[in-house]
Structure 1
């Protein structure tokens, strides 16, 4: 028997998404559908834009059984989203939480290989975080890892 225990959960689902891309459409509809089915969902709609990722948000990730990561064109442009993603994947490893990527109007291989808007965003982050290249590399690794998880592609009909 293991000497560790998985902490209790508070949410069924944690939704990670780029608000500018999907909040007023796909994510709102997804959250409403989950709520209608009695699924307790954490949505970061009460957090202020531009602030450093909060301990409350990190705790919500750890207290969620599943994280749905809505990867959209602008997802990688947000350092907040990338920090969230990194924590989600850490929680997957250390707490055995599930991660389900949703590729919203993007090609999963663009995420995996950091092409298109993902390449552009990471180049900008590389300049902004020039003194912290390890952080940018961790984000690249996280994007590659999440893109290798079986998920849903909105372009599949």
Structure 2
């Protein structure tokens, strides 16, 4: 999942921001290999052009820092999240961990979550069928991930139950 920090000077310095202060309007969550150079790039540009301070991990993570704490901080300091579910989203443990953080933030704070189902059926996300079933079969074979699989499944179901947008992959991300 990638998010881009806006050029607003007050948003660029996150060291003095507390978790209760929003540094970003939107945190973008996505599987980079699926949509980074297409739909998500267009979405991020549109959000930023509309004045939304947007966090995308490929631009905003500090080099040399641990990824998970940086992502947690970005999610905590965002007012909302847009989750771009794609066919291979669930194959990434990073994406699924990020989803857990986003859904937890939704439950404990006034954090808005908008799911975008990009070239994937919402029912496949909700029930983990289709390409998601294949991804979970792989996760379940890994002994170290077994304890997370149940939580990941619950988070996917919870996110898929939210009202969102269903988009088909047309014209390189322009639906």
Choose which of 65, 83, 90 in structure 2 pairs with 1:69.
Answer: 83
Structure 2 match to 1:35: 48
The CA distance in 2 between the partners of 1:123 and 1:30, in whole Å, is 31
Note if 1:21 corresponds to 2:34.
yes
Listed as ranges, the matches of 1:1-157 within 5 Å are 7-46=20-59, 47=61, 53-128=67-142, 130-155=143-168
In structure 2, the gaps of 5 or more residues are 1-18, 169-174
Kept in 1: contact 2:87–2:120 (CA 8 A):
yes
Kept in 2: contact 1:13–1:42 (CA 8 A):
yes
> TM-score, structure 1 length as denominator?
0.89
The CA distance in 2 between the partners of 1:14 and 1:7, in whole Å, is 15
Flag as ranges the 4+ runs of structure 1 deviating above 3 A: none
RMSD over equivalenced CA pairs, Å: 1.9
Partner-residue secondary structure (3-state), 1:45: helix
1:132 shift after superposition: 4.4
In structure 1, the gaps of 5 or more residues are 1-5
The CA distance in 1 between the partners of 2:66 and 2:147, in whole Å, is 18
> TM-score, structure 2 length as denominator?
0.80
